[in-house]
Structure 1
Amino acid sequence: MIDIATRVWNHKWKIDPVVRSLIDTDFYKLLMCQSVFRNKPDTRVVFSLYNRSTAVPLADLIDEGELREQLDHIRSLSLSRGESTWLRGNTFYGKRQMFRPDFMEWFEALRLPPYHLEKRDGQYELTFEGTWPEVMLWEVPALAVLMELRGRAVLRRLKRFELHVLYARATTKLWQKIERLQRLDGLRIADFGTRRRHSFLWQDWAVQAMIEGLEGAFTGTSNCLIAMRRDIEAIGTNAHELPMVYAALAGDDAALARAPYDVLADWQEEHDGNLRIILPDTYGTEGFLEHAPDWLSAWTGIRIDSGDPATGAETAIRWWQSRGEDPRRKLVIFSDGLDIDTIEDLHRRFHDRVKVSFGWGTLLTNDFRGLVPGDELAPFSLVCKAASADGRPTVKLSDNPNKAMGPAAEVARYKRVFGVGVQDAQDVVV
């Protein structure tokens, strides 16, 4: 087996493309894509790149020609026969044929649509436009390309033995975290780190470490390609993208207020069990739960992805109790900016009150903080989001105002419609 440092060194010889497959993506994107393909296939969307960490000048760090080469390579990809067979025939969340034949026929013929790229003020403006099912599949690979190319730009300054030392230190850092996780009784944790990973090779390496170090406590990975190759569970449900687009399409304030629940009504028609996970924070968790229809309280659980995670879990517990549900039978998935200290604290606080699970993202697959001079490999906050739908701007409020997105006038309107008051701002690290 060739060690990872040697493989990284060989990147200079272009052995490895950043994105190797259309299923080198998060499982939830494919689940959502099938839902969109069924319910809103003709909606026209624009997705845009947003670098929240403006101190990281991507256009100065990443060569435009190299970026275009990687993006063009992604446009050349299509499903292989083995990938199609895995998606068609595998069991996901205990369900056979998760992906319907009509969706699979469309996906097998898919090539991703064109992109638009230009430089502005030290950053890249990268946008994708077309029908929603096609364009949405650009999000994860676009982020993975930019994150990995930024890392390669730093790594190519290092000599061979410097790389060996770097990856030895990063591996030690990862394993020390895993050793701490081994002490948590009843732990359930998955890899959610595709979008802002250090590299594909490092994400795969981190997954192998989790498999060996945590055994049954490691429940799987969001990355479909790694799940297929390592024969582990593909993990994921739904994300903010669905309510953002549904809300943008709403014709008036009343329809806007209904939009987040319309999303989940469509989702419920397709999925049951552990796929019925509520993501309540797109327009504020408190208001979402207060006005939620009774049928949602019967869903399996809630994913907490912004704001103070402990506060979010307490809010969910109170809501279930108010609806006559037993929180001990419900699942709480923590997934926002997790690292070992936070995981330990949340597990100890909640594991005997609810079913606790963790989706560990960037700081699993991209924690190179403090390992090179100037900390140039530290992760940063890069997102690719739906910016408009059928010509109307999208909005995301979140439980953290520092994650809010959209035109100021529309943000104000959404806050009024959804009754969002003063929020506690928190730093956005990743």
Structure 2
Amino acid sequence: MVDIATRVYNHKWKIDPIVRSLIDTDFYKLLMCQSVFRNRPDTHVRFSLINRSTDIRLADLIDEGELREQLDHIRTLRLTRGESTWLRGNTFYGKRQMFRPDFMEWYENLQLPPYSLEKRDGQYELTFEGRWPEVMMWEIPALAVLMEMRSRAVLERMGKFELQILYARAMTKLWEKVERLKTLEGVKVADFGTRRRHSFLWQDWCVEAMIEGLGRSFVGTSNCLIAMRHDIEAIGTNAHELPMVLAALAETDEELRQAPYKVLADWHEEHDGNLRIMLPDTYGTKGFLDHAPDWLAGWTGIRIDSGDPAEGAETAIRWWQARGEDPTQKLIIFSDGLDVDKIIELHAQFAGRAKISFGWGTLLTNDFRGLVANDALAPFSLVCKAVSANGRPTVKLSDNPNKAMGPADEIERYKRVFGVGTQEAIDVVV
């Protein structure tokens, strides 16, 4: 096991680059990228870093030259032979050759495109622009770099023994969470913590702790590199990016209204089983389900990623029942800002009423709250989103208005088209 504190104390970034592999990314990115590569390869997109926690002034904490070094290093990465073999030959979700030969040939030759970086009012404006399949692969590594560089900026002021105590406390904190989860009969938990992790080494340690502590209750990780290293399941389906871009490309209100279902129709052609998981909240869960085509009721399950998670699950259960489906045979994946208390609460409420699973993210891989002065390592909300497609702005509404993004006039138009009424604002922690 790596001595993380000593590694941090003796740190030299050329030994420990923040992103060390093109598969140090989330599995859903690769699945979505293959779909985009097949269906929309020439769409021109722009992605942008968005720091929702504006009190964290990243440009004051992180040296621009060092940030550029890390980003430039990522552009030198290529798939190794072992990584390519793992992707080409491994079984994912019970399916061999998940990734098509033409996609793999493209991915093996991929170099991430150039970036644009500027400072403005204590924040970094980091953007990526170009063809959708290439640009979308920047999202996860860009977030990982910014999150870990913020951690390193705090840690570099600490002495060797201070670091040893810090990581000992963080390990104890995580292990206590694992011990609480072990008491839940039938619980299923996956690591979803790549995007806003404390560091790669820490995420890897967290996964090792989950493997030992939870056994079969730990069902895998979203991180492809860590899944390969530990021979565990790579977990992930699709994300808001797909409907956001397709909606931006819509020519009429009716095309806009149908865009989320067009995404899933494409997905339906490519995948089956546990990969058929709806993510309905991009433009409001209730409206999505009210107007969903009948064939979606036959899908395996649903992922709940914003709003009140219990309300979202109840809505899904009622919808399945109204469509003649048995909710106990459906999968509900909770994935929004989870920590142990919420996992225990939701497990108690829904175990037996549906198959349930938890995608545990930032508060698994980056919970250093209360461990340093001024809470300087507390996690914060940083995202990297598609902000335009073929020159048109993208919009995301979600089930929490505090997560909405896009120009104000377009947000109002989307609310009208998708029939989104009053929403309850919920604080965004991560």
Counterpart Cα distance in 2 of 1:51 and 1:163: 27
1:148-227 paired onto structure 2 within 5 Å: 148-227=148-227
- Structure 1 residues 13 and 116: alpha-carbon distance in aligned structure 2, compared to 1, 3 A threshold: closer
Alignment partner of 1:239: what SS? coil
TM-score normalized by the length of structure 1: 0.99
Letter paired with 2:7:
R
Counterpart Cα distance in 2 of 1:285 and 1:68: 39
Counterpart Cα distance in 1 of 2:422 and 2:21: 43
**Are the aligned partners of 1:23 and 1:225 in contact in 2 as well (CA < 8 Å)?**
yes
Structure 1 residue 50 corresponds to structure 2 residue 54: no
Residue in 2 aligned with 1:69? 69
Structure 1 residue 406 corresponds to structure 2 residue 389: no
Counterpart Cα distance in 2 of 1:370 and 1:429: 15
Counterpart Cα distance in 2 of 1:10 and 1:248: 47
Counterpart Cα distance in 1 of 2:305 and 2:295: 22
Q: Deviation string for 1:314-360 (max 9, x for gaps)?
A: 00000000100000000000000000000000001001100000000
Aligned length in residues: 430
Residue in 1 aligned with 2:396? 396
Give how far 1:11 is off.
1.9
Residue in 2 aligned with 1:368? 368
Give how far 1:112 is off.
0.1
Q: Deviation string for 1:70-100 (max 9, x for gaps)?
A: 0000000010000000000000000000000
Unaligned runs of 5+ in 2: none
1:19-418 paired onto structure 2 within 5 Å: 19-418=19-418
Give how far 1:390 is off.
0.3
Residue in 2 aligned with 1:8? 8
Alignment partner of 1:387: what SS? strand
Alignment partner of 2:282: what SS? coil
Q: Deviation string for 1:35-60 (max 9, x for gaps)?
A: 00000000000000000000000000
Give how far 1:9 is off.
1.4
Letter paired with 1:108:
E
Letter paired with 2:369:
R
Q: Deviation string for 1:116-135 (max 9, x for gaps)?
A: 00000000000000000000
Counterpart Cα distance in 2 of 1:176 and 1:274: 30
Alignment partner of 2:380: what SS? coil
Letter paired with 2:338:
L
Q: Deviation string for 1:358-408 (max 9, x for gaps)?
A: 000000000000000010000000000000000000000000000000000
**Are the aligned partners of 1:25 and 1:223 in contact in 2 as well (CA < 8 Å)?**
yes
Counterpart Cα distance in 1 of 2:352 and 2:230: 31
Counterpart Cα distance in 2 of 1:319 and 1:7: 51
Counterpart Cα distance in 2 of 1:298 and 1:193: 29
Give how far 1:240 is off.
0.1
Counterpart Cα distance in 2 of 1:394 and 1:12: 39
Alignment partner of 1:282: what SS? helix
Q: Deviation string for 1:174-223 (max 9, x for gaps)?
A: 00000000000000010000000000000000000000000000000000
Counterpart Cα distance in 2 of 1:201 and 1:13: 13
Counterpart Cα distance in 2 of 1:84 and 1:72: 22
1:419-430 paired onto structure 2 within 5 Å: 419-430=419-430
TM-score normalized by the length of structure 2: 0.99
Alignment partner of 2:384: what SS? strand
- The CA RMSD over aligned residues, in Å, is 0.6
Letter paired with 1:171:
M
Give how far 1:145 is off.
0.1
Give how far 1:10 is off.
2.2
Counterpart Cα distance in 1 of 2:154 and 2:14: 16
- Structure 1 residues 296 and 13: alpha-carbon distance in aligned structure 2, compared to 1, 3 A threshold: closer
Counterpart Cα distance in 1 of 2:412 and 2:13: 50
Counterpart Cα distance in 2 of 1:421 and 1:60: 39
Q: Percent identity?
A: 80
Alignment partner of 1:11: what SS? coil
Give how far 1:8 is off.
1.5
Counterpart Cα distance in 2 of 1:15 and 1:179: 34
Alignment partner of 1:119: what SS? strand
Counterpart Cα distance in 2 of 1:125 and 1:11: 27
Counterpart Cα distance in 1 of 2:317 and 2:130: 40
Counterpart Cα distance in 2 of 1:379 and 1:201: 16
Counterpart Cα distance in 2 of 1:2 and 1:293: 50
Alignment partner of 2:47: what SS? strand
**Are the aligned partners of 1:5 and 1:167 in contact in 2 as well (CA < 8 Å)?**
yes
**Are the aligned partners of 1:12 and 1:156 in contact in 2 as well (CA < 8 Å)?**
no
Letter paired with 1:133:
P
**Are the aligned partners of 1:189 and 1:217 in contact in 2 as well (CA < 8 Å)?**
yes
Alignment partner of 2:281: what SS? coil
Letter paired with 1:209:
A
Counterpart Cα distance in 1 of 2:88 and 2:9: 36
Counterpart Cα distance in 2 of 1:368 and 1:14: 25
Q: Deviation string for 1:127-166 (max 9, x for gaps)?
A: 0000000000000000000000000000000000000000
Letter paired with 2:120:
R
